[in-house]
Amino acid sequence: MSPKTLYSVDRRSLIVGAASLVASPAVVRAQAKTLKIAILLPRSGLYAQAGQSCHRGALAAPKVLADLGYQVELVHVDVESNADTARTQAEKVINEGANCIVGAFDSGLTLAIAQVCEQRQVPLVINIAAAPQITEQGYKYLVRNFQTGGQLVTNGLRLIKEISAATKVDFKSAVFVHANDTFGTAQRQAMDAIFPKADMPFKLLDSISYDPRAQDLSVEVTKMRGLQPDLVMTVTRASDAIKLVRDMARQRFEPKAIISPGSPGLYDEEFYQAMGPLADYAMFNLPWANPKSSITQALEASFKVANPANRFVVDSFNAGFTFEALMIAADAFKRAGTTSGPELMKAVKETKLEQHVMIGGPIQFDEKGQNANIGSAVVQNQKQTPVVVYPSSVAAADPVLPAPGWQNRK
C-alpha cells in the first residue's frame, strides 16, 4: 500500500468516527460518571424570595448527596421570574450539556421549561409547582415531587377542620383571598371544585382575587372587613403576604385566624423581617420537613455551613423539596448508569425512595409523573419562626387559636 493510499484510509476512518460521535451524542453522554443537573430558579424578580430559598437548599445539597454516594455536578441558573427567560435558559443549559433540569418553583415558569425538556428529551424533576395541568398534559419527560393545587386545597381544608376541632375554636364563616397568577388561579379553581364537597363547618362568603404587583391590598381588605369572616384563607407569596397582613392591621380587621390551605408567603424570611410580631399566629397547611428524618438532619447540618446567615427552619420547605428533587435525579442516574435522556427518564419514573426529607411516604410516581405520597401538617408562626403544631405526632408546640389582636402582639 502506497503512502498516499494509507493516508486516504486513515482520513476516511477519522471522518467516519467523528460523524458517529456527532450523530450519537447519547453515546457520549452515556459514558459520563457524573450527572450534570441544571437548577433553574427565580432568584430575582417577583418570586426572588422563594427562589433564593430554594437556591440555598441546592447549595447545601452537594455534601449530603456525596455522603449518600451520588455523583453530581450542579449548575445554578436564575430565570428572573420570567417564563420567556426560563424557556431560553432551559435551551441554553441543555446545549451546554445538562443531563437533567430541576425547578422551577412557580407553575408558569415550570410549564415553560417542561416544553423544552419534552422537545429535547431531557428529564425535568419539579421541586415545587402546583398547577394541576403540569401533570395532565401528557408530558413524558417530567415528574413532580410536590402536591397539586387540588391536593394542597384538599389537605389544607381537612387540616383546618381538624385544628378547629382540636382547639375547640369554631369558624362560622370564611373568605378566600388569592393572587391572580398561575398558581393562585389554579388554587381558586381547586377551591371552587373542592369546597362544596368538603363538608366544612363554615360558609365561604366570597373569593377575592388580587394582583400581586399592586402597591397595596387596602381595597381587598376593606371588602373582607365588610364581610366580617371568622377565618381568612389565603394564597400568597411573600411580597403580597406583607401587603395583606399590613393592611389588615392598619384597618384593625381581626379574624380569629389567617390560614393558608397551601401556599408560600407567610413563612418566608422576608415576611418575618417586614412584619415582626405581626407575622405571628398566621397558619399554613403544607408539606413540611420531617425533623426526625436522618436525611433532614444531615441537610440541616450542611445548610448551616453553606448558608450561615439563614435559618434552616425557615427555609426547610423550599430547601427540602429542592434537595429531594436533586436526590431523585441523582438516584435515578446511579441506577440507570447512563445520562441518555430516555433511559435516565425511565429510571426517574421508577424511583422509590423510602428515606427523604419531607413528611410523607416513599417518593414514587404514578403514570402521570405525580408523587401522591406527600403529607401535610399545620404550621404556625410563633416568635417569627414556623413551628409544626398539628398533628401531635410531629408537633413541636401547641397551636394558638384564636389569634391575639394586632395591638396585643409583643
> Residue 84 — very low, low, confident or very high, per pLDDT cuts 50/70/90?
very high
- On whether the CB atoms of residues 86 and 109 are closer than 8 A, the answer is yes
CA atoms within 13 A on the CB side of 208: 22
Spatial separation of the C-alpha atoms in residues 351 and 328, rounded to whole Å: 7
Q: Which amino acid is at 373?
A: N
Report pLDDT for 266: 93
314, three cell numbers: 425557615
Where is mean pLDDT largest: 8-12, 49-53, 55-59? 55-59
Nearest Cα residue to 33 out of 64, 73, 89:
73
- Render pLDDT for 165-215 as a digit per residue (tens, 0 to 9): 999 999 999 999 999 987 888 889 989 999 999 999 999 999 999 998 899
The radius of gyration computed from the CA coordinates of the chain, to the nearest angstrom, equals 24
List domains and CATH numbers for the chain.
Answer: 28-147+291-349 (3.40.50.2300), 150-286+377-408 (3.40.50.2300)
Spatial separation of the C-alpha atoms in residues 1 and 102, rounded to whole Å: 56
Query: pTM to 2 decimals?
Result: 0.83
**21 pLDDT higher than 80:** no
- Render pLDDT for 240-280 as a digit per residue (tens, 0 to 9): 999 999 999 999 999 999 999 988 889 988 999 999 999 99
Q: What's the mean per-residue pLDDT of the chain?
A: 91
> Residue 392 — very low, low, confident or very high, per pLDDT cuts 50/70/90?
confident
Spatial separation of the C-alpha atoms in residues 397 and 189, rounded to whole Å: 33
Spatial separation of the C-alpha atoms in residues 62 and 299, rounded to whole Å: 10
> Residue 237 — very low, low, confident or very high, per pLDDT cuts 50/70/90?
confident
Report pLDDT for 88: 98
Spatial separation of the C-alpha atoms in residues 300 and 60, rounded to whole Å: 8
Expressed in angstroms, the distance from the first to the final Cα of the chain is 95
CA distance readout (Å), 144 to 231, 307, 329, 349, 365: 31, 26, 12, 10, 8
Report pLDDT for 31: 55
- Render pLDDT for 363-388 as a digit per residue (tens, 0 to 9): 999 999 999 999 999 999 999 999 99
